[in-house]
Structure 1
Amino acid sequence: ENRIGLDHLSFSVGSHADLENAVRLLDEKGVSHGEIKDLGPHLPLYVLALRDPDNIQIELTAPYS
């Protein structure tokens, strides 16, 4: 992205189930988001991405459990 200032913001949640709950809540509120992605064994995280009203990417991450 080519912007000055904040590029993205990431928050950690406790589990993959928390990401699934976030997906349900975002869907209920009509908020667009990506799929939960598995970053693989070298970076053992799950990531859910969405955009705020200013088009800044927000990531919710959860460790492998």
Structure 2
Amino acid sequence: MITKDSDFKDTHFIKQTPKKVIKVALGNISNNDLLDIFEKYLSFILSLTLKESFYIEISKEQIIMID
């Protein structure tokens, strides 16, 4: 699941659902900038598909995985 909604962090860790969450913390950016950021982190995101569960937050400066 890809979301801008912070409520998914709580449900992911408390209820273990949804299993895979990508939180987008980018504010107002253009679609092209959004695509560029996802392209920048694509290989890392794809490497996570083998995991049963994950929660990551993407910002303009970094990607953070929270266990």
Relative to the length of structure 2, the TM-score reads 0.32
Relative to the length of structure 1, the TM-score reads 0.33
Q: Decide which structure has greater strand share.
A: 1
Q: Decide which structure has greater helix share.
A: 2
Query: Which structure has the larger Rg?
Result: 1
